[in-house]
Amino acid sequence: MTSLAHRGYIHLGMDVSRDSIAVAILGPDTDVPVIEKISSDPESVRRLVKRVGRPSGVWACYEAGPTGYELYRLLSSMKVRCEVVAPSLVPKGRGDRVKTDKRDARKLAGLHRAGQLTAVAVPSPAQEAVRDLCRTRGQMVGDLTRARNRLTHFLLRHGLVYRGGSKWTRRHEAWLATQHFDDAALALTYRHYRATLALREKSLEDVEADLRGYFATEPFADAVVRLGGYRGMTHMGGLCIGAEVFDWRRFPRARSFMAFTGLTCWEDSTGLSQQRGSITRAGNSKIRAQLVESAWAYQFQPAIGETLRQRLAMVSPATSARSWSAQTRLCRRFHALAQRKNVKSVVAAAIARELAGFLWAEMTAAD
């Protein structure tokens, strides 16, 4: 079967790995693709396209993966139409237990010609570079959390528990500085844990300082300011979400964006039977983590603190009004759900899903 939009093209299904590419060449008048295997270097790709036919008559596709978008950009520079498809949305048969590069390439070519593959949005090189820096920050946050946990668990094993309030504050830091061990090996262990923690904190500070230079840089400046006007979000959070999404209008509805974040519930319904469960976690994990972190701010009563007031001073009155509307609803929802749910993290995930809808509405609004 051939989709009307895909008729007349020579389709290339490409299974891409680090050193090689398995290519299924499916002509417009045949149902049996020709399978080749080429090197993944640019010159080999150019020779393949030259051998297949006119670049304008070729339509290639490959799955998004660790090799990134360089092949897409190479083919685009050669005037070859190319799509990067979402691996998780490629149709798979339950009984299909054999997976090879050639079989995958053959499947991609056939499904692409039938119009059954879903393409992902490809960022520009500049957008991808900032996104990589934002993801580096996320990794630094994870490294810092692990360093803090190791130190806390070490102290707990030796009967030292901080009971003076919130951790990782100045008071907590002063308490850590007073702890000492008589055993030399324990003292050295504690010193190494503290040194690692200081290094992780410095690394995070450095990468955040670098990211602040992009707050006013297009095309991120609008998302930084507008998303920063919402409670629980910061300009840093706005930049990280904006760098991941980069094109909000590719989502036709708020529900589409919610699904992209992986915050919608899975469902298995048929006939009169309906089954719903936990969130799918099938979307962008970076955005999901940021939204859940922001959702915790709505467990308190609606209010505009000094920090939020400063960020709201930078947005339009319409954005400020939408921000307040979102805050009043989400705070009320958080309180109502917390009365029914024993696990607060479930409530935070539900609020994060609704927050995603408000942010989509904000970034697709006319003003």
DSSP state of 53: -
Which residues neighbour 11 within 8 Å (Cβ) at sequence distance 6 or greater?
Answer: 24, 25, 26, 33, 59, 60, 61, 109, 112, 113
Evaluate whether 31 touches 13 at the Cβ level (below 8 Å).
no
Split at pLDDT 50, 70, 90, the class of 7 is: confident
- CATH number, span 4-113: 3.30.420.140
Asked if residue 267 has pLDDT above 80, the reply is no
Identity of the residue numbered 265 = C
Please report the pLDDT score of residue 265 as a whole number: 83
Please report the pLDDT score of residue 179 as a whole number: 96
Please report the pLDDT score of residue 338 as a whole number: 95
pLDDT in tens, 127-154: 999 999 999 999 999 999 999 999 999 9
Asked if residue 271 has pLDDT above 80, the reply is no
Asked if residue 4 has pLDDT above 70, the reply is no
| Cβ neighbours around 337 below 10 Å, total | 15
Distance between CA atoms of 36 and 34, rounded to whole angstroms? 7
Please report the pLDDT score of residue 97 as a whole number: 82
Domain boundaries, the chain: 4-113, 125-212, 221-364
Q: Beta strand 58-63 with 81-85: parallel, antiparallel or unpaired?
A: parallel
The packing angle between helices 344-364 and 285-295, to 10°, is: 110
Asked if residue 96 has pLDDT above 90, the reply is no
Please report the pLDDT score of residue 73 as a whole number: 97
Split at pLDDT 50, 70, 90, the class of 45 is: very high
pLDDT in tens, 186-238: 999 999 999 999 999 999 999 999 999 999 999 999 999 999 999 999 999 99
Share the mean pLDDT of the chain: 93
- Going through the chain in order, the beta strands assigned E by DSSP cover 10-16, 20-26, 34-39, 58-63, 81-85, 265-267, 276-279
Split at pLDDT 50, 70, 90, the class of 1 is: low
Model confidence, pTM: 0.89
Q: Phi/psi of residue 16, each to 5°? A: -100, 130
Short-list 80, 150, 251, CA closest to 71: 80
Short-list 214, 60, 45, CA closest to 132: 214
Distance between CA atoms of 123 and 307, rounded to whole angstroms? 32
